[in-house]
């Protein structure tokens, strides 16, 4: 995060500091822009003892002094911007006016050595609040693909004025702001407030936040988020997906997270409460965001319409949501982050979830993680091959139809937001209704020779892996 301050702004010089909290030893180059034209550049590499004492900025070599030669015209008012060179990011409190007047030294005068003092007197620097883009999912609409690219390309995004904060990242391959979403559910929170005070002054044109966890936040938590941004514009980016595509994918995700239900069981349970389930009745979330942030601040994207047209959702996000002239690009950007498990692996994990519940009383994502760790073991691989051979003989398809009668009013309700579609030229409806199917494995495969013994051996290997993981993470006595 870019941080800094203009301590002195006069007609003959500008003095202050600038640093990057994520590269505390790096010296930033600053561009000084006067009345829309660059007047020169300066390196922020002077020693500042106050910054050194803070302990957050390396050795504290982040001070700068820029001299105007000749001094600015005292008979005119001057708009001055201190910008990070090569970037649209403006130094926090780095946009201000130097007013006309008889004093050759009129301007900001702040005692040196106090990095957190606020400026006063003739020229008051104005903090330009960023635009906040809050990407909320839905789950299974390419969120992991987007978030992974936001992370991998965050430096390139930052150079184009988009800041993707790292403050709320969790350990492991999760590059989203789930911790922030969880904190907002328990708001207010002093740490969140402190971070937002820094984000509001980060100097980037846009701050990008992303988590599917923003969807279930109660209205009070969303209102707290709105208040933390101090009046900045907030855009909610919501992706809709057709049900016949979303349902199989979401069921597999539910199993990955510990569900024991077969697809017919899961599907029947969901449809029995379709009007109150926000994955089906997506207007539930849209209504909430509209109430807190305003209907016109919702950017509705049809994931299904984009996929139907073979549009890359990251390129689309960069051009139509972030308004970038070109998408950042690095080798391998298009790699999928989370591939579908498929019918066979889903059934195996579902069965292991059930065994873990019988053994310990609970299941969860840790079962899938442990299986992934042991799956390369040749002994386990042989048993998996036996299971898969049996499962393939019992794979069936359950038909799905987006146009069944009790989904019609839900579809009409969702389409009340169709005027907010980012790309209506790809379809005037939130999605085009279709028929589909979900492949799953019938339980008869369990009766085939050797299947139960193979499952038992895989389950034993899984149990040992879970026990070893628990022992490795247990605090030392």
Three-state secondary structure of 24-92: CCCCCEEEEEECCEEEEEEECCEECHHHHHHCCCCCCEEEEEEECCCCCCCCCCEEEEEEECCCCCEEE
Q: Where are the beta strands (DSSP E) in 140-225?
A: 162-163, 206-210
The residues, ordered by sequence, that sit 6+ positions from 337 with a Cβ below 8 Å of its Cβ are 144, 145, 147, 148
Tell me the two tokens of residue 180: 């922030």
Residues in the chain: 477
Do residues 165 and 194 make contact, with C-beta atoms less than 8 angstroms apart? no
The H or E element containing residue 173 is: none
pLDDT of residue 173: 57
pLDDT of residue 441: 96
pLDDT digits (tens, 9 = 90+) for 422-459: 988 898 899 999 999 999 999 999 999 999 999 999 99
Residue 245 has pLDDT above 70, yes or no: yes
CA dist., res. 320 & res. 258, Å (int)? 36
Q: Looking up tokens 């199989």, which residue turns up? A: 248
Tell me the two tokens of residue 375: 């799956």
Find the farthest-apart pair of alpha carbons in the chain and give their distance in angstroms, rounded. Answer: 98
CA dist., res. 230 & res. 126, Å (int)? 14
pLDDT digits (tens, 9 = 90+) for 194-237: 889 889 888 889 999 999 999 999 999 999 999 999 888 999 99
pLDDT greater at residue 54 or residue 350: 350
pLDDT band at residue 359, thresholds of 50, 70 and 90? confident
Distance of alpha carbon 145 from the chain centroid: 10
- Residues paired with 13 in a beta bridge: 67
Distance of alpha carbon 208 from the chain centroid: 7
Q: Looking up tokens 């939130």, which residue turns up? A: 430
Residue 474 has pLDDT above 70, yes or no: no
Q: What is the DSSP letter of 107?
A: S
pLDDT of residue 408: 94
pLDDT band at residue 477, thresholds of 50, 70 and 90? low
pLDDT digits (tens, 9 = 90+) for 34-74: 998 999 999 999 888 778 877 778 888 999 999 998 888 88
pLDDT of residue 419: 93
pLDDT of residue 121: 32
CA dist., res. 40 & res. 1, Å (int)? 23
pLDDT of residue 475: 61
- Out of 171-185, 364-378, 395-409, 410-424, which region has the weakest mean confidence (pLDDT)? 171-185
pLDDT, mean over the chain: 86
CA dist., res. 383 & res. 444, Å (int)? 18
pLDDT band at residue 338, thresholds of 50, 70 and 90? low
Do residues 166 and 157 make contact, with C-beta atoms less than 8 angstroms apart? no
Report all structural domains of the chain as residue ranges with CATH numbers, in order of start: 2-109 (2.60.40), 131-251+259-338 (3.40.50), 359-473 (no CATH)
């Amino acid at each position: 995060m870019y941080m800094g301050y203009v301590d002195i702004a006069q007609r003959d010089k500008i003095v202050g500091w600038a640093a990057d909290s994520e590269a505390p030893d790096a010296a930033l180059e600053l561009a000084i822009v006067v009345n829309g034209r660059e007047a020169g550049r300066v390196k922020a590499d002077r020693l500042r003892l106050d910054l050194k004492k803070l302990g957050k900025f390396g050795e504290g070599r982040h001070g700068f002094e820029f001299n105007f030669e000749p001094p600015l015209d005292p008979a005119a008012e001057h708009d001055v911007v201190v910008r990070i060179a090569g970037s649209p990011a403006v130094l926090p409190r780095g946009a201000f006016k130097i007013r006309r007047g008889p004093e050759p030294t009129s301007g900001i005068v702040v005692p040196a050595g106090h990095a957190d003092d606020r400026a006063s007197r003739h020229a008051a620097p104005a903090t330009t609040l960023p635009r906040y883009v809050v990407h909320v999912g839905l789950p299974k609409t390419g969120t992991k693909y987007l978030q992974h690219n936001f992370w991998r390309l965050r430096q390139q995004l930052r150079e184009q004025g988009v800041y993707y904060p790292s403050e709320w990242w969790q350990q492991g391959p999760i590059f989203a702001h789930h911790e922030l979403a969880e904190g907002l559910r328990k708001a207010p929170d002093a740490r969140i407030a402190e971070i937002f005070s820094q984000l509001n002054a980060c100097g980037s044109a846009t701050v990008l936040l992303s988590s599917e966890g923003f969807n279930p936040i109660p209205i009070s938590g969303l209102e707290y988020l709105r208040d933390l941004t101090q009046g900045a514009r907030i855009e909610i980016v919501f992706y809709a997906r057709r049900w016949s595509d979303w349902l199989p994918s979401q069921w597999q995700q539910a199993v990955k997270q510990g569900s024991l239900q077969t697809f017919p069981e899961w599907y029947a349970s969901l449809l029995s409460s379709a009007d109150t389930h926000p994955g089906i009745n997506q207007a539930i979330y849209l209504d909430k965001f509209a109430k807190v942030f305003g209907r016109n601040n919702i950017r509705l994207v049809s994931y299904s319409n984009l996929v139907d047209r073979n549009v890359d959702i990251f390129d689309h996000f960069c051009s139509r949501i972030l308004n970038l002239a070109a998408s950042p690009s690095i080798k391998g950007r298009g790699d999928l982050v989370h591939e579908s498990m498929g019918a066979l692996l889903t059934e195996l994990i579902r069965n292991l979830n059930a065994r873990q519940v019988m053994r310990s009383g609970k299941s969860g994502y840790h079962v899938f993680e442990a299986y992934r760790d042991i799956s390369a073991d040749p002994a386990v691989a042989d048993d998996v091959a036996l299971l898969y051979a049996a499962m393939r003989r019992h794979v069936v398809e359950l038909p799905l139809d987006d146009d069944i009668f009790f989904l019609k009013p839900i579809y009409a309700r969702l389409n009340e937001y169709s005027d907010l579609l980012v790309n209506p030229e790809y379809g005037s409806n939130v999605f085009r209704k279709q028929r589909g199917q979900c492949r799953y494995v019938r339980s008869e495969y369990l009766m085939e020779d050797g299947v139960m013994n193979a499952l038992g051996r895989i389950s034993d290997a899984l149990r040992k892996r879970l026990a070893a993981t628990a022992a490795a993470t247990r605090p030392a006595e």
